[in-house]
Structure 1
Amino acid sequence: MAANRHPESEPALPASESSLASVVGSNLAAAVSIAAQAGARIDDVNEVFFEVLTRIEEISTLNAILDLVESVFLRALFHELKHISHQVYYHDTDDASKVAHFQNACALVEEYAPQAKQLEVAVLISTSHQYHLSYVSSPKKDLLRRWHCCLRDLIARTPLGELLHHPAARLPRVRWRLRVGFFGIDKLQKFSSVYRDRMNVIQGLDSRRFETFLIVSAQYAASPPRDLAGADLLWGSVDHVVGCDVHDLRAVLTQVGELHLDVLVYPEIGMHPLTCLTAYARLAPVQVTTWGHSLTSGIPTVDYYFSSAWYEPTDAEANYSETLVQMRSLCTSYPDLSIKHRVRKGGADFTSTLEVLPPPPTKLVCCMQTSCKVNLHFLRRTMPRILDGAPDAVFLFMREHFASATRDAISEALAGQVLFLPTLLFGTFRTVIARSTILLDLHPFGGCNTALDSFLEGRIIVTLPGSELPGRFTQGFYRRMGVVDPIASTEDEYVDLAVRFLNDSKERRRVERLIEKRRSVLFNDQASVAEWEDTLLLVSRPWVTLMRRKGGDRAGEDKRACAGWLPRLEFRGCFGCVCTV
C-alpha cells in the first residue's frame, strides 16, 4: 500500500477534532439516546475515547455506541482497544487476550494509517499514550515499540513531520552550564506521584553546572498552580519556566526545539498523549525518561531510562527500548510528606470517611490503589484465603473507575467484607493508611508512592514482587531499609504473611518499629540528586563540552558526604561503549 502524505491534515491534540460527535457523525442522536437509556450522559464535544470508555459501564451499551462509529477503521480499532481501556473488559479479560487484542490494533493501524483521513489521524493522536497497557502483566517493549512506530510514521507524513527532527538537535555545542529541560506538562502541575517523585531532584540540581527549564502549560508560566504543595519552591528553583499551548502540537514542538536543550527529561511518558507526541520528535541530543509510567516508552527517539539497581531484576535491560541506567541510589529524592509539604487533614471527606471505617477489633486491610492495578485473577486466588485466616478483616478499595460489575465481583470474592471509598484528599488518604492494620501491595503491578506513604505512617505493606519495575518498588524500599520480613516469594507466602501480620500484633509491631527506625533512608535522598547530576553530565558528553569555571565544580568531599554515595556508575551507552562515573 502506498504511503500517502496528508498535506491538509495537521494532527490536533485531543479536542473537538476527535470528539464523539465527529466520530459518530450522523449517528450522534442515536448514540446519545442509547447512552441515556442506560442512565449515562455523554458529552458530544469531548474526546471520544474518554466519553465512551469512562462513562459507559454496560458492555452492551458500549458495543452499541461503538457500532455507530462511521469510520470502518476506527470502529474496528475501538473494538480491539476496548479490551485494554474499558473498565469492565479490562478486569474481565486475561492478560494474554489483552496482548492479542493490542496486537490486532497495531495491525489495523499499520494497514490503514497510510490512507487515514484527517478525523482518523486526530483520533489516533488522541489515543497515542495507551495508558492502561502499562498494567498488563506481559512483556511490553515490542508492543509499545510497534504502536509508537506506527503513530510516529503517521505524524511524519503530515505537515508536522518537518518538526520531528530539529535541525540543531544533534549538533555539538560548548556550554558554561548544561541546559536541561523537564517536560512537566500535566503531571508536574498537580499533586501527582510523578510530581512527588521528581520535585526534589529538579530543585536540587547544582545551578553552577545546570541551567534548568521547567516546561509547563501556558497558564502556569507566570506562577504555579494554587494549592500545589511545594510548587513555589519548584518554580523558584529553576532558571526558566516555559509555558506552552497544550492544544497546539506544532507550537509545543517548535517552542521546545527553540530552547536548544542539551538534555530533555520526560518525568513520565505514557500518562498523557502530549508526552508521547512530543517524545516522537528529536528536540535535544539526549532525551531521557524515568518512572512516571514505570515501563519503557518504546519510542526510538528516547535514549535513556533512568532507574535504580534497588528495584530492577537482573535481566532488566531486556524490558527497555532505551539504554537502561541503573543508579546505585534510589533515583528519587522523595519528600518526607509527614513533615514537609503535608496536605492538611480535615474537611467533609475526612469526617465522612472516618465515620464509615469500622472500629477495632475489625482489622482494616488497605488495598487503595488505582483500579488498573487490581488484577481480579490474583485477587480471587489470594484475598479470600487471607480472609479465611483473618475472618475479622475488612478490605478497603478505591471506588473510582471500578464498574459496578467489578465492584460486585470483588465484594462477592471477599464475602461482602469490603469497603469502596471515594477519591480522598491526600491528608485523608494518609489517615486511612494510619488507621489500617496492614496494606497489601497489589500484584503484579504494585505501588511506589503508596508504599512510601505506608512507611511514613509506620505501616507494613505485604508485597509479592513482580518480574518488571512496576511490581518491584516496595521490595527495593524494604531492602534499602534492611527490612525483609514482609517480602513474599510466592502467592502462598503472600497469603501467609498477610494473615500473620493481621493476627500477630506483637510481630506486627516489631516490624513496624523497624520501619519507623529505618525509613529515613528513603526520603530526601541527596545521593539520588548527586547521581542524577553525574548521570546527566555523562550522557551528554558526546554532544556537549562544558567549559570549566574558575574555582572548579562543587567540592568532591561535599558530594561524598551524601549518605549512600557510590563512586562508580557503569552502563552501556548509545554508542556501545561502557560509560563510567
Structure 2
Amino acid sequence: MEKIGRNDPCHCGSGKKYKQCCMQHDAVQSAGQRTQQANRKAQVGNNLQVAVEHHRAGRLAQAEALYRAVLQADPNHPEALHLLGVIAHQNRNHALAVELIGKATRFRSNDPNYFSNLGLAYLALGRLDEAATSFRKVLALKPDHAEAHFNLGNLLSNQGKTEQACISYRNTLAIETSHSGANNNLGAMLCVLGKRDEAEGYLRRALAADPTYADAHCNLAHLHMDRGDMEHAIAAFRQVLTLASHNADACFNLGILLKQRGQTEEATACLRKTVTLSPDNAEAHFQLGTLLDAQGQPEDAASSYEKAVSLDPRHAPAWNNLGVACFYLGRLDQAVASYRHAVELRGDLAEMHVNLANALRDQGQWQEAAASYAKALEINPDSAGARFSQTMGTIPLLNDTPEQAESARQRFSLALEELDRWCTAERAELAAAAVGSTQPFYLAYQEHNNRELLSRYGDICARLMAARQGNAAPQHAPHSPLRVGIVSAHIHEQSVWNAIVRGWFQHLDRSRFELYVYYLGAKQDTETTWAAGQAKCFEQGARGLNQWRETILRHQPDVLIYPEIGMDVMTTQLASMRLAPLQAASWGHPETTGLPTIDYFLSAEGLEPPNAQENYREKLVLLPHLGCCYQPSPVVEATGEDLAALGIDADTPLLLAPGVPFKYQPQYDRTFLDIARELGKCRMVFFYTPRLDGVIRLLRQRLESCFAEAGLDFGDYGLFLPWQTKPVFYALLKRADVFLDTIGFSGFNTAMQAVECNLPIVTREGRFMRGRLASGILRRMGLPELIADSHEEYVKLAVRLVRDGAYRDDLRRRIAKQRSVLFDDIEAVRALENFLLDATKKGKTE
C-alpha cells in the first residue's frame, strides 16, 4: 500500500483531504498495533527465558511446552527451534532433533552451538559423515570451540580413525587442558596404539580433574590389565563399580580377573550381575558357564552355554563347553550335536574332534569315534589329549562277542606301545597335561587280569607326571598323631563314599590319627558338610594341579589314601606323583591302579580270591571281612507307586538285574535266555541312565539276537527301565523274587540294598575281586548256598528261588536275621589303623 500524504484525498472516499478526515484515527490505531507487537515480543522473550530455566533444571516437559509456545507466536524463532531440538535429542528422538536444529541453522547460520548440537544428533543417528560436516562447520565459525574438537574426536574414534581422533583430542586439550573427557579419551586411544605410559598420564589427568570419573577409572583398569598388573586392575575395576555400580564392562572384567585369581565365588557373582546388566553379552554368559562348570553345577553351566550360543551361534568354545556339560550330564545326543557345531566352526582345533570322538564312543558309535580321533591327530599330531583318548578309545564300552573283546585288548596293547614311544622326555611337559583326561576305565569290565596292561599305562603316567613333581619325593618322620590324607573327588552321597570312605571318617581313632581331606570334586550335600566336620583339615574348591600338589606337600601327610583311582582326572594326576612317604589306593575302582607311585592296595579278605597278589602291582593289604565299615541305609519307605505303570505285572515272577549296561559281558547272555526258557512267564528288569542310551541299545540288540536264535522274543521276558528314585527302587527290591548279580563284575552297593530289603541274591563268584563283591557279602552272612560256581548252577538257583516260595521266604528270614554282620564292622577300621601305624614305621619298602 502506498503512503497517503496529508493533503491527499482520504482513502475512505469522503472527498475530504486526509488530514481533515481519517488521519487522526489511523494514528491512534497504528500506535495500538505497535503496542500489541511489543507485548507479544516481550511475552516470547519471557517464555524463552523461563523455558531455558526449566531446561537447565532438567524439567524438560515444562521447557518443551514453553518452547512450543514461543514457536506458536514465531514459527521461525531460531533459538526456540534449536533448544526444542536439544530436548528431542535428550529424549532420544534424534531424527526430530536433526529436523528442528537443522531448521534453526537456516535462520541463524553463524551460531557454532547450533551446528555443535546438530552434529551430536547426527552422531546419535549414526550419520557420521553429516555429523563430521557439522562439527567442522563449528570449527570454521569458532576454531577454539573445545567441545567441537572433542566431539569430532569421538566421531573419528567411532570410525576407527584412531590417529585422527588423537589429533582432535589434543586440539581440545590445547584449548582446555583440564577437559576430563578429552584426557580420558586420548588416554584410551593411546592404549589402543600401545602407548601405555603416555596413556596413563592422560588418564590420571582426567581423574585429577574429576576423581569420580568412572570411565577414566575403567580405562585405567584396562591399561593395568594390558600390562598384566592384576592387582591394580582389580582395584581400579572395584573403584569403577563403587562410582557406577551398573557398569557392565567393569563388572565383566572384574569377574574375569577374579576368576583368573581363583576367587570363584566372587567372580561368579560379578558375571551373574553382568548378564543381568547386559543380557545380550554372549561372552559373559560363556564365562559364567565356565565358572559354574568348575563349581560342579553342570545344569546351570549348560544353561549359560545355551544362552551364549543363542546370542552368538558362531561361538565355537561355547558350543564345545555345552557339549562337555551335556556329556557330563549324560545328555549324549545333545553333547554330540553341540560338538558337531563346534567342529563345524573350528574344525582346525584337535580338541573339538577329541571331544566329539569321546561322546560318539559312549554312544556306541565306535567307527565314527575312531575317525574323529584320527582327524584330531591329522590336525595336530602333537595333541597329547588326542593321543591318550585314541588309546583309551580302543576299549569299547560294550562288546558284541568275546572275540571282539579280545581283539580290543590287543588293539589297546598296541596303542599303549605307540603312546609310550610318543611320550618322549621332550614331550613330557606337554603330555603330562593329558594324563587322566581319558582313562582305561572300561578295561575292568573284561574278566581278565589287567595287571600287565595297567602297569604299562601306569608307567607312562608316572613318567610324565614326574615332570610336574617339582620337589623331591617327601621324606619325613611320621607325625604323632599320624597324618592321614584322603584324596577323592567323591566326598558326597555316592557309592564309593558309602561303601568305603564314610566308615573311616566316623571311626578312625582321632587320638592316633588326624584326617587331612583333599576334596577334588564340587558336588556338595549333607555328607560333604558332615565329612568336613570330621577332618583336621578339609580342603576343597576349584584348583589346578600345582595348587593341589603344593597344598598336600605343605601339610606333610604321612600317608595318602586314594579311595578310587581311574574315575577322575585330577585324582589320577596326583596319584601319579609321590606326595607322601606312603601312598595307598582302595577298591572304589576295584582293580590295580598300575601306578608305581601307589605302594599298597587296601582290599578285603572276604572279597579276594586265592593268590590275589598276582592281580596287583601294589602290595595287597587284606583287611578283615568286607574290609569296610558299611552303615545301613537310612530307612527308605518304599513308594506305593503302581508298578504296573512300569510294565510289571503283579502276577509275573520278577527278577531284578540292576547292573550298569557295560557290566554285561556277551559270554553270559545265554544265562538270561536259559532262565527265561526254564521259567516261561517271567520279567527280568534291567536299568539304565539316559547317558547310556546308546550302550543300552547295543545291549538290547545283543539280547534280542540271543533270544531270537532260540526262537524266543526278548521283549516277552526282558524290560529296560530308566534308573529309578530310591523309594521306587526299594519298592522293586521288596516286590522282586530274586536279584540277579552281574557275572564278572559284581555289584556291591546294589547288593547291600537288596540285603536291606531281604531279597535273595544269585551270584557267580568271579576270578577277580571285582567279580566277588556280592559273593563276599553272602559268605559274610553265612549264605554260600546262593553262590553258583557254574552257568548251570546260576540258572538252576535263580529258577528255584522263583518257583519255590517256601525256600525263598526262608532265605528272606535268614537274610533279615544274619545281615547285621555286614554293618558297622569296626574291626575293619581297627585293622586299617594298625596297618597304617606299622607301615609308616617300617617305611613303604618294607
**Structures share fold, TM-score greater than 0.5:** yes
2:444 aligns with 134
1:65 aligns with 372
After superposition, where does 1:92-241 map in structure 2 within 5 Å?
94-114=404-424, 116=427, 122-127=433-438, 129-157=439-467, 160-163=468-471, 165-166=472-473, 169-173=474-478, 175-184=479-488, 186-217=489-520, 225-226=524-525, 228=526, 230-241=527-538
Q: How far apart in 1 are the matches of 2:688 and 2:431? A: 33
Q: Deviations over 1:376-435 (max 9, x none)?
A: 2212x3110011111122111122322423322224435212111113333332332222
SS at match of 1:424: coil
2:787 aligns with 487
**Counterpart pick for 1:390 among 679, 685, 698:** 679
After superposition, where does 1:209-288 map in structure 2 within 5 Å?
209-217=512-520, 225-226=524-525, 228=526, 230-246=527-543, 248-288=544-584
Note closer, same or farther for the CA distance 1:390–1:295 as it changes in structure 2 (3 Å cut).
Answer: same
Structure 1 stretch displaced more, 388-397 or 38-47: 38-47
SS at match of 2:764: coil
Q: What one-letter code is carried by the residue in structure 1 that aligns with 2:652?
A: T
Instruction: Structure 2 unaligned segments of length 5 or more: list them.
Output: 1-292, 295-315, 324-331, 343-350, 708-713
Tell me if the contact between 2:436 and 2:566 (Cα under 8 Å) persists in the aligned partners.
Answer: no
Q: What one-letter code is carried by the residue in structure 1 that aligns with 2:409?
A: V
After superposition, where does 1:532-543 map in structure 2 within 5 Å?
532-542=832-842
Q: How far apart in 1 are the matches of 2:577 and 2:774? A: 34
2:745 aligns with 445
Q: How far apart in 1 are the matches of 2:401 and 2:357? A: 18
SS at match of 1:455: helix
Between Structure 1 and Structure 2, the one with more helix by share is 2
Q: How far apart in 2 are the matches of 1:280 and 1:466? A: 29
Q: CA RMSD in A?
A: 3.2
Tell me if the contact between 2:483 and 2:516 (Cα under 8 Å) persists in the aligned partners.
Answer: yes
Note closer, same or farther for the CA distance 1:83–1:89 as it changes in structure 2 (3 Å cut).
Answer: farther
Note closer, same or farther for the CA distance 1:90–1:338 as it changes in structure 2 (3 Å cut).
Answer: farther
1:471 aligns with 771
TM-score of the aligned structures, taking structure 2 as reference length? 0.54
- 1:119 positional shift: 6.8
SS at match of 2:626: coil
Q: How far apart in 2 are the matches of 1:147 and 1:90? A: 25
- 1:277 positional shift: 0.9
Q: How far apart in 2 are the matches of 1:325 and 1:448? A: 19
What is the percent sequence identity of the aligned residues?
25
Q: How far apart in 2 are the matches of 1:109 and 1:59? A: 20
Note closer, same or farther for the CA distance 1:473–1:89 as it changes in structure 2 (3 Å cut).
Answer: closer
Instruction: Structure 1 unaligned segments of length 5 or more: list them.
Output: 1-13, 16-20, 29-35, 544-572, 576-581
Q: How far apart in 1 are the matches of 2:363 and 2:626? A: 40
SS at match of 1:408: helix
1:553 aligns with none
Q: How far apart in 2 are the matches of 1:485 and 1:193? A: 28
Q: How far apart in 2 are the matches of 1:454 and 1:98? A: 34
TM-score of the aligned structures, taking structure 1 as reference length? 0.78
Tell me if the contact between 1:244 and 1:252 (Cα under 8 Å) persists in the aligned partners.
Answer: no
Note closer, same or farther for the CA distance 1:155–1:263 as it changes in structure 2 (3 Å cut).
Answer: closer
Tell me if the contact between 1:215 and 1:244 (Cα under 8 Å) persists in the aligned partners.
Answer: no
Greater relative contact order (Cα 8 A, min sep 6): structure 1 or 2?
Answer: 1
Q: How far apart in 2 are the matches of 1:258 and 1:240? A: 12
Note closer, same or farther for the CA distance 1:62–1:479 as it changes in structure 2 (3 Å cut).
Answer: same
Tell me if the contact between 1:245 and 1:252 (Cα under 8 Å) persists in the aligned partners.
Answer: no
Note closer, same or farther for the CA distance 1:504–1:404 as it changes in structure 2 (3 Å cut).
Answer: same
Note closer, same or farther for the CA distance 1:205–1:38 as it changes in structure 2 (3 Å cut).
Answer: closer
Q: What one-letter code is carried by the residue in structure 2 that aligns with 1:274?
A: M
Say whether 1:52 aligns with 2:359: yes
SS at match of 1:467: coil
- 1:140 positional shift: 0.9
Q: What one-letter code is carried by the residue in structure 1 that aligns with 2:581?
A: P
SS at match of 2:808: helix
1:405 aligns with 698
Q: What one-letter code is carried by the residue in structure 2 that aligns with 1:331?
A: G
Note closer, same or farther for the CA distance 1:236–1:393 as it changes in structure 2 (3 Å cut).
Answer: same
Q: What one-letter code is carried by the residue in structure 1 that aligns with 2:464?
A: L
Note closer, same or farther for the CA distance 1:138–1:60 as it changes in structure 2 (3 Å cut).
Answer: closer
Q: How far apart in 2 are the matches of 1:386 and 1:237? A: 48
1:546 aligns with none
Tell me if the contact between 2:743 and 2:765 (Cα under 8 Å) persists in the aligned partners.
Answer: yes
- 1:77 positional shift: 6.2
Tell me if the contact between 2:436 and 2:570 (Cα under 8 Å) persists in the aligned partners.
Answer: no
Q: How far apart in 1 are the matches of 2:435 and 2:462? A: 11
SS at match of 1:298: coil
SS at match of 2:785: coil
SS at match of 1:442: coil
- 1:54 positional shift: 5.1
Between Structure 1 and Structure 2, the one with more strand by share is 1
Note closer, same or farther for the CA distance 1:352–1:413 as it changes in structure 2 (3 Å cut).
Answer: farther
- 1:235 positional shift: 2.4
Q: Deviations over 1:349-389 (max 9, x none)?
A: x958762141222112111111221112212x311001111
SS at match of 1:283: coil
- 1:72 positional shift: 4.7
- 1:218 positional shift: 7.7
